[in-house]
Structure 1
Amino acid sequence: MSRLIVISNRVSRPNKSGNQGGLAVALAQALRESRGTWIGWSGEVTDTFTGHIGFSEDDGVKTATIDLEEQDVDEYYNGYANKTLWPLFHFRIDLAEYARDFEGGYNRVNQRFADTAAPLIEPEDVIWVHDYHMIPLGQMLRDRGHRNKMGFFLHIPWPPTRLLVSLPHHNKLVSTLFAYDVVGFHTEEWLESFRHYVEREMGGSVNGDFVTVGDRTIQAVACPIGINAKEFAEAADSEAARAMLDQIRASLQDRAMIVGVDRLDYSKGLEERFNGYARFLKDNPDQHRKVLLTQIAPPSRGEVESYQQIRATLDSLAGRINGEYSDVDWTPIRYVNQGYPRDKLAGIYRSARIGLVTPLRDGMNLVAKEYVAAQDPDDPGVLILSRFAGAAMQLKDALLINPYSPEEMSDAILRALAMPLDERKRRWRAMMDSVEQQDISWWRQSFTERLMAVDRDTARVEPETMDG
């Protein structure tokens, strides 16, 4: 069996706390099976980049990490990745910052990852590169003579052509994707956006899964990521989950809880969610004291100004809504800026009558699937889901809403609270079937099997590399 080499911005080492995300668990399993290696940034900063590789092996998973300079982190990670590509790919062109230093740092760090990975790659290895931090990496490895089977998976949306063309050197960036053999997206919508760009801006052609530009043909596929549904359902029955469930129910005093769990990010629609909930309270005074919203939002990317702004906005909104509607023994919003281990999180999900997942744009959104998996089959809650999340393509039995509409969100909350048990069970069962069938193992196997089947002998000339 060929070894699998995974390359991503950060490396997730196995741990015994159970706090790893589903992606990390799935990749770790594949790496164990193939005796592979996970390569990425250590998360540490060094005064001078030396190229030193830190090797480790945890629970059968080998990792190889490098430290980056402070300038690298500022330009590549905080800059191009999170101030340029992230907002642009989430349709927030108004927040995207374009700077030559950012682009230069992005290419420099990708070159450093290529230099790190190159001596670790054997001729028969299969390489799987992940996410927007690493788009040009495949081309850089080809430039170093590697003819291995290589795949790339984008975990965020692919923007419409009319937005992507605002990115300086967009054509050169996209052309580097043609160094890979298989490129994956979560949904048909993101895949269609990619195909449209290739046809309109690169003069390419599409034939089924095959996309051709010049002398290079790749497979571009939609392959929705899932969760470990069985494991998450079991976590919801664990001792820690039951203790959390009992604790929350005692505090609710027979009130219905709505839960939101999101990284503190403007793409998650948190401001719109608070406004929609405020509209519900305004429209339904008879529901006061009968319901409350628990919003869990761990901070992220605190060095980026737009993230500082969203935190300040939510602090203000939560305070205003609680100030306007609270009573001495009832507060309508519990706003929590910390994360929880997965077993406790499963208990939180199960205790909630409504899961409120309202991103303005999301590649997939696994919180929606975790909420479904954590429910009690005999008394499941109701998922309210943004139609702009990738998960909406699969979870069609959720109450799908436009997160920009406070009225629509308010109506959906009222409908969910009044939904009969039979309807809740029917909707939950249909969603759970999807979550179980297309789980994280299905996703990983679907993509890697397609990649393993590539015939590299038919590889043709790769496109010009991206300029620095």
Structure 2
Amino acid sequence: MRKTIIVSNRLPVKISETDGEFILHTSEGGLATGLGAVYREGNNIWVGWPGQEIIDLKDQEKVTKELRKTNLMPVFLTQEEINNFYEGFSNETLWPVFHYMAVYAHYEQVNWDAYYQVNQKFRDIILKVAEPGDIIWIHDYQLLLLPGMIRAALPEISIGFFQHIPFPSYELFRLIPWRAEILEGMLGADLMGFHTFDDTRHFLNAASRILPVNTSANVVSFNDRAIVVETFPMGIDYDKFVALGSDPMVLQQIKNLKENFQEDRLILSIDRLDYSKGILQRLQAFELLLQLHPEYIGKVVLYMIVVPSRDTVPQYKELRDEIDKQVGNINARFRTLAWHPIQYFYRSFPVETLSALYNFADICLVTPMRDGMNLVSKEYVASRNNNDGVLILSEMAGASKELIDAIIVNPNNIGAITRAIVDALDMPLAEQQRRMKQMRQLVSKFNIHHWVKLFMTRLQEVNEMQQNMLARRVNQETAVFIRQQYREATKRIVFLDYDGTLVGFQPNIDMASPDPDLYQLLRELANIPGNDLVMISGRKHETLGEWFGHLRLDLIAEHGAWQKTKEGEWYELPGLTDKWKKEIMPMMELATDRTPGSFIEEKSYSLVWHYRKVESGLGELRANELMNTLRYYTVEKGLQVLPGDKVIEVKNVEINKGKAALSWLNHKKYDFIMAMGDDITDEDIFKALPPKAITIKVGSQVSAAQYYLRSYHEVRHLLRTLKNK
């Protein structure tokens, strides 16, 4: 029976040992809440580390048995693995780089080795329970290699991956020595999810610049698979936080807060101890508030909760010490006998206490330097059942892309945070309610359950799309069908593009001349009775004539501007003009002057701007600029602008490979028609040929062609099978 396997670094339970007995405590985390309903259903499984080192095999068996009762599967890690994989590579390499704090990153080979081995350990556990038809959903930065490892072992299985922290820009990501291996691991997934569009864009950019992959919109083509990369902003359990507002325990704590703070205005700050959270900057902004606005002394309190995290690590210990110092200085400087400006707690609190604080606080101050989403901001909004209160939110948090009615600030701008606090304190109730209602509607709709449903539905759609693409690939069964059609026919015509179809893509266009193997193949195919082979290319007619004039081939050059039958001479399409070139050439020359490595190729009735030798990124940028300029100038001149593989071509609109192919079909009746090509210009042939024709796109799955092949090697192989009896 089909099942869903959820995989994360930690299981959604905490495990503790008392007198030799292991006790499970359910986690309160957002992910555990959202996926709780999923993993508890039927025979679904959640795979992860139980949270502590368990060495004894009998204890491992005992824990495994206990966890399996609730559909959980443990991955046991040694202390050394925890130190090197989790504390080491995950949190000392990936975490700082992904949070734009690369100065804190360490690149240790021993940590990378442990990261690789632990991902393998997770893979081995999953392979014990995974079956064909299952769905595997992997979570977060600790398991970036896992999708690729599972894909290698189970090529047909459905894999989703979601990253809960930011994905950095290419310039930062490239600092990681193992960047290519990480990307290849992630691309084992079918669907990849990020919190924001920026993260999605950064991933696509990094993949296209580091790996030999093709990206089109949000689809990456890698190892003959289409991987979809999309944005799925994560939500919270909205109803839970709404309901907590009327919980008797929460109401009692709200009453206590009112008694304690009376008329004081409360600013709430809740964070885990981490340098990415902007805690020190927040304290500086609050200190500046009290300096510039002494009228708030005795009236405003910053209620700061910092949840302990990794405080044995030097950077975190220093951060904690600095927070202690700043809080002490501010309290010592501004406090009165009856009032403390900062109420500071270095510990975690139960969700009921947090709910009481969310309900009571006038302002919630959430100003991380960088955050994937930040659910505290959404929890505060969900808790405001009276639609009042003000959220101050960092523009560097993923949530800022959704909660646009918050006061959005740059967390590096201390003055801006101070001004935001003043604006929040002075904000009229009607304005508070207008903003909060909008945000509550959004948080209510895009809740954690909506997020899970959206991701799983999209994963199913992606799998269906991939199946359709696989069905179009020329596999063994399709090849048998094509050979059968070919052998039953007596009059056959085969249209063949050249560059990218019969030979590989070369940095230098003059290096792509035919090799002896290709000559032999074409010669044998052309000499078979009943065969007409038509080479249909964008190449100059002089070049095609020089390369193939001695073979029994029909030649169509420059996309149809020049044509030649086996026995005849070259003739050009009547009515064409090249007078437009003197207007277009200066535009291309300007682009060439600005783009080192680019060059212009002039044909009889077309101009081609090549950027195959240009630095990746710059070429695409200049090509887009040139395309926009050319489209404006060519729109009323009877010209067509064609973007191709590292080229932009301008030609007469009358010149068209499709029209040229149809003119050949008008001379003779054929009972077998086949066309193969790799370029956008070949789409004209695929669209023009009759439905019975066999059309094959090379190197891409997105095409009007019926089938596709991955490379020119596969094209030659298929053609060889046609000539063999």
TM above 0.5 = yes
Task: Determine what percentage of the aligned residue pairs are the same residue.
Answer: 34
Per-residue deviation, 1:35: 2.9
Structure 2 regions of 5+ residues with no counterpart? 15-22, 474-725
Q: Secondary structure at the match of 1:20?
A: coil
Are residues 233 and 160 of structure 1, via their aligned partners in 2, closer, same or farther at CA, if it must alter by over 3 Å?
same
Aligned to 1:428: 436
Are residues 57 and 31 of structure 1, via their aligned partners in 2, closer, same or farther at CA, if it must alter by over 3 Å?
farther
Q: Give yes or no for contact 1:55–1:62 (8 Å, CA) kept in 2.
A: no
Rounded Cα–Cα distance in structure 1 between residues aligned with 2:223 and 2:156:
19
Give 1:388's aligned amino acid. M
Per-residue deviation, 1:149: 0.1
Are residues 214 and 36 of structure 1, via their aligned partners in 2, closer, same or farther at CA, if it must alter by over 3 Å?
closer
Q: What does 1:7-406 align with in structure 2 at a 5 Å threshold? A: 7-13=7-13, 20-47=28-55, 54-55=63-64, 61-145=70-154, 147-213=156-222, 215-377=224-386, 380-406=388-414
Rounded Cα–Cα distance in structure 2 between residues aligned with 1:59 and 1:428:
43
Rounded Cα–Cα distance in structure 1 between residues aligned with 2:68 and 2:297:
50
Are residues 266 and 184 of structure 1, via their aligned partners in 2, closer, same or farther at CA, if it must alter by over 3 Å?
same
Is 1:3 matched with 2:10? no
Rounded Cα–Cα distance in structure 2 between residues aligned with 1:146 and 1:62:
25
Rounded Cα–Cα distance in structure 2 between residues aligned with 1:107 and 1:288:
54
Q: Give yes or no for contact 1:126–1:452 (8 Å, CA) kept in 2.
A: no
Are residues 214 and 147 of structure 1, via their aligned partners in 2, closer, same or farther at CA, if it must alter by over 3 Å?
closer
Per-residue deviation, 1:278: 0.7
Q: Give yes or no for contact 1:359–1:386 (8 Å, CA) kept in 2.
A: yes
Give 2:292's aligned amino acid. D
Q: Secondary structure at the match of 1:224?
A: coil
Pick which of 275-284 and 12-21 moved more.
12-21
Q: Deviations over 1:82-130 (max 9, x none)?
A: 1110011000000011100110010011111111111111212100000
Rounded Cα–Cα distance in structure 2 between residues aligned with 1:370 and 1:104:
38
Aligned to 2:445: 437
Q: Secondary structure at the match of 1:179?
A: coil
Give 2:389's aligned amino acid. G
Give 1:269's aligned amino acid. G
Give 1:365's aligned amino acid. N
Q: Deviations over 1:43-68 (max 9, x none)?
A: 12145899966435679741011321
Rounded Cα–Cα distance in structure 2 between residues aligned with 1:130 and 1:234:
28
Larger-Rg structure: 2
Q: Give yes or no for contact 2:34–2:452 (8 Å, CA) kept in 1.
A: yes
Q: Give yes or no for contact 1:78–1:303 (8 Å, CA) kept in 2.
A: no
Are residues 216 and 227 of structure 1, via their aligned partners in 2, closer, same or farther at CA, if it must alter by over 3 Å?
same
Per-residue deviation, 1:253: 2.3
Per-residue deviation, 1:216: 3.1
- TM-score normalised over the length of structure 2: 0.61
Give the alignment partner of residue 447 of structure 1, picking from 455, 463, 469: 455
Q: Secondary structure at the match of 2:47?
A: strand
Per-residue deviation, 1:283: 0.8
Rounded Cα–Cα distance in structure 2 between residues aligned with 1:179 and 1:4:
17
Q: Give yes or no for contact 2:67–2:74 (8 Å, CA) kept in 1.
A: no
Rounded Cα–Cα distance in structure 1 between residues aligned with 2:263 and 2:25:
32
Rounded Cα–Cα distance in structure 2 between residues aligned with 1:207 and 1:237:
50
Are residues 32 and 105 of structure 1, via their aligned partners in 2, closer, same or farther at CA, if it must alter by over 3 Å?
same
Q: Give yes or no for contact 1:5–1:128 (8 Å, CA) kept in 2.
A: yes
Rounded Cα–Cα distance in structure 1 between residues aligned with 2:282 and 2:207:
35
Give 1:9's aligned amino acid. N
Are residues 177 and 381 of structure 1, via their aligned partners in 2, closer, same or farther at CA, if it must alter by over 3 Å?
same
Give 1:339's aligned amino acid. S
Q: Secondary structure at the match of 1:123?
A: coil
Rounded Cα–Cα distance in structure 2 between residues aligned with 1:33 and 1:46:
28
Give 2:436's aligned amino acid. W
Per-residue deviation, 1:270: 0.5
Per-residue deviation, 1:339: 1.4
Q: Give yes or no for contact 2:166–2:371 (8 Å, CA) kept in 1.
A: yes
Q: Give yes or no for contact 2:196–2:398 (8 Å, CA) kept in 1.
A: yes
Q: Give yes or no for contact 1:158–1:190 (8 Å, CA) kept in 2.
A: yes
Are residues 58 and 168 of structure 1, via their aligned partners in 2, closer, same or farther at CA, if it must alter by over 3 Å?
closer
Q: Secondary structure at the match of 1:195?
A: helix
Rounded Cα–Cα distance in structure 1 between residues aligned with 2:152 and 2:24:
39
Pick which of 214-223 and 197-206 moved more.
197-206
Rounded Cα–Cα distance in structure 2 between residues aligned with 1:116 and 1:58:
14
Are residues 304 and 102 of structure 1, via their aligned partners in 2, closer, same or farther at CA, if it must alter by over 3 Å?
same
Aligned to 1:418: 426
Rounded Cα–Cα distance in structure 2 between residues aligned with 1:131 and 1:326:
43
Rounded Cα–Cα distance in structure 2 between residues aligned with 1:65 and 1:33:
18
Give 2:8's aligned amino acid. S
Give 1:7's aligned amino acid. V
Per-residue deviation, 1:146: 5.2
Rounded Cα–Cα distance in structure 1 between residues aligned with 2:199 and 2:57:
36
Rounded Cα–Cα distance in structure 1 between residues aligned with 2:434 and 2:69:
41
Structure 1 regions of 5+ residues with no counterpart? 461-468
Give 2:333's aligned amino acid. E
Q: Alignment RMSD, CA only?
A: 2.2
Q: Secondary structure at the match of 2:64?
A: strand
Rounded Cα–Cα distance in structure 2 between residues aligned with 1:292 and 1:350:
15
Q: Secondary structure at the match of 1:328?
A: coil
Rounded Cα–Cα distance in structure 1 between residues aligned with 2:56 and 2:112:
20
Q: Give yes or no for contact 2:13–2:24 (8 Å, CA) kept in 1.
A: no
Rounded Cα–Cα distance in structure 2 between residues aligned with 1:33 and 1:390:
31
Rounded Cα–Cα distance in structure 1 between residues aligned with 2:118 and 2:27:
28
Rounded Cα–Cα distance in structure 1 between residues aligned with 2:358 and 2:401:
21
Give 1:36's aligned amino acid. N
Rounded Cα–Cα distance in structure 1 between residues aligned with 2:297 and 2:370:
30
Q: Give yes or no for contact 1:123–1:146 (8 Å, CA) kept in 2.
A: no
Per-residue deviation, 1:305: 2.1
Q: Give yes or no for contact 2:195–2:231 (8 Å, CA) kept in 1.
A: yes
Are residues 269 and 50 of structure 1, via their aligned partners in 2, closer, same or farther at CA, if it must alter by over 3 Å?
farther
- TM-score normalised over the length of structure 1: 0.93
Rounded Cα–Cα distance in structure 2 between residues aligned with 1:50 and 1:146:
35
